[in-house]
Each structure stands twice: as C-alpha cells, then as structure tokens.
C-alpha cells in the first residue's frame, strides 16, 4: 500500500501480503447493513483481543522484571513515579509552602517526650498525630515517619488483655505492654534509640475524622446526591475526573508531613525514614517511591506479587496499570529497603519478588541495601517484625545501638494523652458539606496550579508539555507502538473505480490487540494519508450501499489515501456480542472506579490505543507516506484530539469537530466516556493545546480560538496554523476543504 499505480508489480496481491500492507482495512460485505465490517457475522474468526477478556483486579499477579542497566531503569522509573503521582493527584507536586503546625500537650516520660500535632495539608484537610522526641541526646536526630495502618482506632489501638496473652503464647509478642500497644511500642523504642518519630493518622482513624472512616475506608455505594456537576463528593465521576481520591488525599498528607518534619531544625534531613504495616505499608512505599527525601524504608506485610491492597484508601485509578507493589518497592533503590512478610498475601515474598528486588539492587550497585523476611504469623507488625525493623534503622541510620535490640516496658499513653483535639482545639466537622468544601477547595487550588503553567514562550511551553503532556501520557498509558510490535493480517482486497479497498486487522503483538481497519488507496496516490475517525467506526466512510460518502470520495478523488478503523466497542468488535452500554468493571461489588481502573486502562484510553496502532503502522510503513493527517467528528473528534496530543509530531493536519463535548459533563461513574483526570488537565481544550505543531482546524467549539490553545500555539510561533470553523455548513465537507490545502 502507499504506492502509486505505476509502482505496483504485476503480482500486486502477493506483494501487499508480503509487506503486511495492513495499514488499513475493513471490507464491505453483502447487504447495505454490513457496510464497513471486515467480516460477515457468520465468518468472524476467533477475535483475539486481550481487551475482550477478563479484567485484572487487585488479586492478580504482579511480577517485577528488573532492568538491564541503571540507565534503562531510570527511564522506566521516571514514568512509574509520574504514574503514581498522577494517580494520587499530586502531579504537579504540591507547593512546599510553610506549614503552620500546632504542637501542644507535651507528655514527659523518663527518656522521651510526646507531643500532639495537627496542621492542614490543604484547607480543611488535617494531618493529626503524635511527635516523639528522645531526651538526653544531642541532635540533629533521625526522623522516622510512622503511618499506623488498618489497626482498630489507629493511633489509639489497644489489642486488649486476651489478644496480647494469645500473641505472647504464640511467640508473636514478647512483653505484655508492647504487645498490647504495638503502635506506641515501635514509636517509643525508636525514640529511645535516638530517633524522632511522627506517628500520624490515616484519614478516618483516631483524630483524622475530617473525612470519616466510613467514607475513606468503607465506601461501597454511589451517592446520587453527591454526584452532580456542582455538588460532587469523593468517589464520584467528578472527583475521578479531577483525580481526587482517598489514596491521593492520604499521599498529600504524607507529602506535607514530610515537608513539615524536614523543616524542623532538630531533624537530620539525611536520615528520614518511614515504616508502617498493612495499609500503613502502602503509605510507606507510595511516599518513598515518589519522594527521595525519604532515605530508608521499611514497609511491613504489604509488598507482594499477589494482592495489592484491598482498601479504597490503597487504590486509585491508573495506579497499578502495568505495574505493581514490587516495582513500587524497587523505586526505593538505591536507598535501603527492608520488608517483612506474614501468613497472608505476602507469604511468598522470599521466592516471588525479593529475588527480583535483590537482582535490581545489585544492578544499582547496592546489593546490601535490600532485605526481606517471612515470619509465620498472621498479618501483623508484631514484636518479631519490629525487632527486624529496629535493626534495620540502627544499621542504616548508624545509631550505634548494641544488638540485639530489646524493647523495654513503657507507660502507654491514654486516649486523652494521644488525642490532638480538646476544648481548646475542638477539631473539624465531619459531614457531607465539609467533605464537599475540602474536595472543591483542593480542586480549585489544583486548577489554579495548572493554570499557572499556561505557556507564554518556548521555555514555558516546554514546561507545560512536561507537566500537562506528561499527565496525558499516563492517562493514555502507553507510548506509540514500535514497528516491531505491529503486524497486519490482510482480510481482503477489492478493485474499485479509481481506488483499491483493503480490509486488514492491525495486530499489536505486544499487548495482544487487534484493530479492524479499512484502507482506501487511490490509483494515483499523492503520498498523503488521512485517518478518518467516525462515531460509527470505519463504517462511517461508507454509505449503506457500500459506496464512499461524499467527503471520503472527495479525498480519494484528490489522490489522498484514507484509513478508517473501529476502536474498541465499534463495528467488528460488536458482531459477536453487543457493545457494553456502561463501563465494564471487576467483580468487586463496591462501586469504586479505582478497583477497576487502578489495574485496567479506561475504555477511552483503550480506544486511543487503536488509533495509535494505526498511526504507528502508517508511520513505519515502508512506502513512507509524505504526510499523515487526522480527522474526527463528534466524540470521535475528542478521540482524534487525544491521539494527536499524544503524538503531535506524527500529525500534519488535525481536523476536529468535538460537537461541544466536555468531559466535565460526565456524572455517571460507569459512563463509557469517563476518562479520569481529563478535567484536571484542561479537558478537551487541554488536549487541543498539546496538538502543536500539527495544523489545527476546529469546529464544535467557540467562534474564537480557545485561550489555552491560543497560548500554546502562539508560544510555539504557530498561531497562524489554527483555523476555527463555526458556520452551519456541512462540517465534514468543510474539513475536507481544509485538509486538501495541506
């Protein structure tokens, strides 16, 4: 394909098959109703596309493949860190503004003190906890952050007399006080070893009730009254569109906690560690993965190739798509990493995960900096695990404590001594109105931060592309396919008047996907290609009788090759079974998008993958087309904008009619068009602003160039390449007029 008629050999069919012509396809079949399908219904072969199979969930298998070199790893690591930050809603990073912490209520013990601390990480969103300081020692001190995990009542946890007796009998605990109050025990022991410790709440636990426990950790049903465009709360479509989620709010709290402790003069910034178990283990490796100020990391009973974290606070859209907790732990390297495992999902760590991490740390030149150990106890952070953690920080913070390190008894703090709230500091409200206020204020501040990136010259444009373009890279979820990843299966070839029509499946071997496509090659090809996206799929190129529509006929008559395709759930994808009417989800009954989209691409992203498959096939075809343009109409115009924003250097001209659609209008969490994060990063206008240097024809929008698009193109010196169309004339024909100018 992509050859002029006089370049064709006599055995054209064999030649096309040999070169895998496949750039395009989708044959026409008997009967007007079959127009545009590659296969008649009774002839469809096994449609081998991984996206039509079972969705992955948090109980899947998440192995880690170490990189071959530090350089290769750094490229991968940059992307995974960015993926975590985008998923957690902290891309771009929150500004490190001064924190006005309230520190009060000091309790004096013989060799350490404990103070109550609270501050706002964002207006209305509080960090609450206790600050332990060693006495009789000279600073600066190492600091250990200590998120508690899913222990009942969090910082206030008391296992009770009966439980601690059973634990001591089983060998899980050694002493009654430490075993009954294990969260306090680890803080006290670290303080006695010469460390400062900040033991802070998960949201919804203990004093962290600005957002309730039932909301953050037990959410299960969508709330229609909290799901409108204006009145939305956590876990709604609107919060997903802004990437505001429970994991992200806790990550924001952890980042701001790190900002605060780093500002304390008595803290040694070269020795800041973090340790937590279970959900606190998730908080531990998430913060350590994205913030290099953490210098030693010890997550307990969480890092695994198996279950990745069951709570809503441990999951977020995009978080573990094509990655997982072992790779998150690998992001700690070359900093020291210690882990414990138990009789739970982590029990195979010594044979699955740890060997790869050891290989990884060795490749990074620090084989001594990773250690992991399985202990045959139920899910825990018991004395045995704590003892390993004390040795870990003793070694890497060079504390000089003689080993073995033995916990000593202590006087546990009462709930009153622990709680940061009292009559003087009564604590924040915890209801739906305060939830809305917290989330909407955060959303406005995030929007202001993105707006501050609006480009005004080449330098600011580069930064805008790094941040906003980098975010959309994560939303799409993969790079342009390499040439070797693609192959074509030609289904048919038909001679037409003045052109040839080819039906092809473009297969992405790396991901096990197949994109049905239709290619129209003029007899006198001008070396130009237009990929035409329609809400009816490739059938949109054809009339019911199989002849070309008027706009497509004009392009072919002008010598331009045209490609049409079915994105996922269009055309041939639906011949064996109808397209879903709402977003497919995993079997988890709780109505939280992150349980599905934390492990699988959104439908919209998968549809962009189909477009990228065709774009890459065109780019890498041996006939080397002179230019590739992209046109899309209706919601397919939005898909076209997303594909161009992803790979603008491939597109010569982009003709888009968005039909006025904006992602911000979506309020149903199961809407097939839901693309989490789209609103945060500028919605459709944000996509269009990333399309330079492609020439842009835009309809379905305002009469004037959108300000963000104008700023982007003007910064690139390309504003003259933007043309607005707002007349009532046939927009597809008007788009063809413009495309033929290029």
pLDDT in tens, 479-516: 999 999 999 998 999 999 999 999 999 999 999 999 99
What are the helix (H) ranges across 43-130?
70-87
Q: What is the DSSP letter of 742?
A: -
List of residues 6+ apart from 241 with CB closer than 8 A: 663, 664, 666, 674, 675, 676, 677, 678, 679, 680
Q: Is the pLDDT of residue 367 over 60?
A: yes
pLDDT band at residue 631 using 50, 70 and 90 as cut-offs: very high
d(CA 205, CA 243): 23
3-state helix, strand, coil in the chain (%, to 5): 35, 20, 45
Residue 119, sorted as left (phi over 0), alpha (psi -120 to 50) or beta, turns out to be: beta
Rounded distance between C-alpha atoms, residue 698 and residue 111, angstroms? 70
Concatenating the DSSP letter of every residue in 215-246 gives HHHH--S--GGGBSSSSB-TTSHHHHHTT--H
Q: Within 10 A of 720 (CB to CB), how many other CB atoms are there?
A: 9
Residue 87 makes CB contacts below 8 A (sequence gap 6+) with 243, 245, 247, 248, 316, 317, 318, 319, 474, 598
Q: Residue with structure tokens 């790396």?
A: 510
Q: Under DSSP, is residue 297 helix (H, G, I), strand (E, B) or coil?
A: strand
Using pLDDT thresholds of 50, 70 and 90, give the confidence band for residue 703: confident
Q: How many CB atoms lie within 10 A of CB 56?
A: 17
Q: What residues contact residue 607 under an 8 Å CB cut-off, 6+ apart?
A: 567, 568, 569, 639
Tens-digit pLDDT profile for residues 635-673 = 999 999 999 999 999 999 999 999 999 999 999 999 999
Residue given tokens 């410790």 in the structure block: 197
Domains of the chain from N-terminus onward: 5-57+475-642+665-687 (no CATH), 93-448 (3.40.50.1820)
Both tokens of residue 227?
């799901």
- Is the confidence at residue 633, as pLDDT, over 70? yes
Query: What pLDDT does 20 receive?
Result: 32
Tens digits of residue pLDDT in 310-330: 999 999 999 999 999 999 999
Q: Which residues face 697 on adjacent strands?
A: 655, 723
Closest-CA residue to 251 (of 225, 273, 284): 284
Q: Write the CB contacts of 614 (distance below 8 Å, at least 6 apart in sequence).
A: 23, 24, 506, 515, 517, 531, 563, 565
Q: What is the pLDDT of residue 110?
A: 92
**What is the model's pLDDT at position 46?**
54
The per-residue pLDDT for 554 is 98
For 320-378, give the DSSP string.
TTT--HHHHHHTTTTS-EEEEE-SSTTTTTTTTTHHHHHHHHHHTT-GGGEEEEE-SSS
- Give the model's confidence band at 48: pLDDT under 50 very low, under 70 low, under 90 confident, else very high: confident
> What digits encode the pLDDT tens for the residues 121-168?
999 999 999 999 999 999 999 999 999 999 999 999 999 999 999 999
How far apart, in Å, are the Cα atoms of 603 and each of 134, 532, 544, 567, 580? Answer: 53, 20, 28, 10, 11
Q: How high is the pLDDT of residue 299?
A: 99
Which helix (H) or strand (E) segment is 306 a member of?
Answer: none
Average pLDDT over residues 697-705: 88
The whole-angstrom separation of Cα 369 and Cα 360 is 11
Q: How confident is the model at residue 14 (pLDDT cuts 50, 70, 90)?
A: very low
Q: What integer pLDDT is reported at residue 42 of this predicted model?
A: 47
Is pTM beyond 0.85 here? Answer: yes
CB 237 within 8 A of CB 667: yes
């Amino acid at each position: 394909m992509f050859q002029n008629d006089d370049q064709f050999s006599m055995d054209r069919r064999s030649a096309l098959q040999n070169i895998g012509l496949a750039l395009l396809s989708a044959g026409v079949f008997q009967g007007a109703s079959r127009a545009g399908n590659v296969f008649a219904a009774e002839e469809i072969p096994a449609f081998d596309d991984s996206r039509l199979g079972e969705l992955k969930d948090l109980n899947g298998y998440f192995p880690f493949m170490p990189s071959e070199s530090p350089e290769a790893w750094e490229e991968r690591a940059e992307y995974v860190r960015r993926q975590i930050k985008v998923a957690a809603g902290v891309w771009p990073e929150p500004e490190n503004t001064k924190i006005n912490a309230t520190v009060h209520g000091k309790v004096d013990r013989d060799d350490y003190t404990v103070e109550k601390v609270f501050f706002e990480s964002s207006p209305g969103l509080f960090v609450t906890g206790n600050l332990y300081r060693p006495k009789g020692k000279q600073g600066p001190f190492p600091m250990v952050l200590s998120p508690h995990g899913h222990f009942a009542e969090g910082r206030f946890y008391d296992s009770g007399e009966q439980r601690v007796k059973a634990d001591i009998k089983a060998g899980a605990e050694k002493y009654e006080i430490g075993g009954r109050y294990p969260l306090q025990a680890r803080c006290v022991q670290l303080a006695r070893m010469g460390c400062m410790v900040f033991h802070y709440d998960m949201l919804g636990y203990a004093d962290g009730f600005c957002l309730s426990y039932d909301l953050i950790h037990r959410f299960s049903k969508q709330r229609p009254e909290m799901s409108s465009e204006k009145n939305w709360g956590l876990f709604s479509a609107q919060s997903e569109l802004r990437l505001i989620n429970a994991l992200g709010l806790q990550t924001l709290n952890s980042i701001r906690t790190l900002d605060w402790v780093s500002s304390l003069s008595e803290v040694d910034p070269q020795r800041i560690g973090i340790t937590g178990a279970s959900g606190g283990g998730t908080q531990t490796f998430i913060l350590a993965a994205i913030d290099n100020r953490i210098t030693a990391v010890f997550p307990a009973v969480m890092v695994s190739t198996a279950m990745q974290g069951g709570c809503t606070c441990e999951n977020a859209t995009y978080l573990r798509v094509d990655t997982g907790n072992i790779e998150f732990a690998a992001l700690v390297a070359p900093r020291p990493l210690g882990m414990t495992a138990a009789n739970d999902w982590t029990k195979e760590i010594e044979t699955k995960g740890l060997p790869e991490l050891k290989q990884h740390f060795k490749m990074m030149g620090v084989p001594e900096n990773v250690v992991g150990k399985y202990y045959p106890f139920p899910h825990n952070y018991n004395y045995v695990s704590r003892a390993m953690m004390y040795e870990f920080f003793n070694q890497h913070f060079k504390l000089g404590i003689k080993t073995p390190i033995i916990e000593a008894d202590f006087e546990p703090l009462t709930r009153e001594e622990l709680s940061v709230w009292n009559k003087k500091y009564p604590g924040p409200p915890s209801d739906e109105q305060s939830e809305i206020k917290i989330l909407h204020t955060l959303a406005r501040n995030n929007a202001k931060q993105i707006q501050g990136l609006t480009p005004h010259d080449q330098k600011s444009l580069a930064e805008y592309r790094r941040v906003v373009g980098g975010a959309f890279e994560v939303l799409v979820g993969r790079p342009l396919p390499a040439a070797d990843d693609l192959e074509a299966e030609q289904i048919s070839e038909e001679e037409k008047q003045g052109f040839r029509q080819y039906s092809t499946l473009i297969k992405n071997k790396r991901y096990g996907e197949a994109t049905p496509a239709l290619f129209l090659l003029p007899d006198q090809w001008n070396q130009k290609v237009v990929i035409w996206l329609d809400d009816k799929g490739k059938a949109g190129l054809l009339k019911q009788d199989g002849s070309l529509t008027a706009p497509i006929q004009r392009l072919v008559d002008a010598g331009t090759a045209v490609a049409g395709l079915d994105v996922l759930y269009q055309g041939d994808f639906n011949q064996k079974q109808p397209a879903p009417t709402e977003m497919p989800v995993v079997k988890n009954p709780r109505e939280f998008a992150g349980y599905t989209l934390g492990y699988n691409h959104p439908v919209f992203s998968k549809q962009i993958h189909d477009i990228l498959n065709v774009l890459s096939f065109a780019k890498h075809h041996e006939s080397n087309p002179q230019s590739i343009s992209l046109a899309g109409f209706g919601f397919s115009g939005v898909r076209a904008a997303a594909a161009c924003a992803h790979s603008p250097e491939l597109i010569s001209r982009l003709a888009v009619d968005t039909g006025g659609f904006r992602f911000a209008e979506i309020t149903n969490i199961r809407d097939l068009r839901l693309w989490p994060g789209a609103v945060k990063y500028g919605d459709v206008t944000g996509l269009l602003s990333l399309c330079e240097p492609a020439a842009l024809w835009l309809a379905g929008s305002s009469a004037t160039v959108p300000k963000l698009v104008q700023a982007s193109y003007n910064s690139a010196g390309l504003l003259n390449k933007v043309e607005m169309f707002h007349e009532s004339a046939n927009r597809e024909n008007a788009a063809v007029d413009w495309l033929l100018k290029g």
